[in-house]
Amino acid sequence: MELTRRDAIAALAAAGVAGGGAVLVASDRDRGSESNDDEGATNDAHEDIVETATALAPVLYPSEVDDAAEFVRTYVTGRIENDDDHRTGMADAVAALDAHASEEFESNFRELSPEQGDRLLTDVGLDRVRPDPAGSDLERIRFYLVNELLYALFSSPTGGELVGTENPPGHPGGLESYQGAQR
């Protein structure tokens, strides 16, 4: 099952980012050319978040989802581009996750294999952590990274279809599908 650009735009819309299309163009440009502006620090933080989220996707997303890199890159870029608070929250959660990764694997999370990533999340007990944007390190990791990416997936039509609905709550999927049996 493929996560499309349409899914990323839908997920961004569900997260309140208008103009997902513009974001797509921006993320293409960012990847295609060397950044030549001098806001280096912001761009680094930005890249760290996107890379870490991309590394988290194969861990968090079910095996049925083939390649989520494009989806995650587009979604996360859109999410943090014009929202400083959210970018700070995510950057901070990435740093907390990297601290755990360094302790167990002596490297940043984005350099781990999906199997190592899964083991790390399991070892720190993230399945039992409540999300809280103002909570402990693990609670912020759960909120800003794990639940962030799960929300992106399950509020999109493709994510919804994995569990039986092509129009999950949060997705403006129109008035047809509630009336019908077919998917």
Is the Cβ–Cβ distance between 87 and 135 less than 8 Å?
no
Q: What distance in Å separates the CA atoms of residue 55 and residue 150, rounded to the nearest whole number?
A: 14
* Closer to another protein by Cβ: residue 16 or 40: 16
Q: Is 15 helix (H, G, I), strand (E, B) or coil?
A: coil
Strands (E), 19-146: none
Contacts of 65 (CB under 8 A, 6+ apart): 1, 2, 3, 57, 153, 158, 162
Residues in contact with another protein by the rule CB under 8 A = 13-16, 18, 59-64, 118, 121, 126-133, 143, 146-147, 150-151, 153-155, 160, 162-165, 167-175, 177-181
* Closer to another protein by Cβ: residue 30 or 114: 114
* Closer to another protein by Cβ: residue 101 or 153: 153
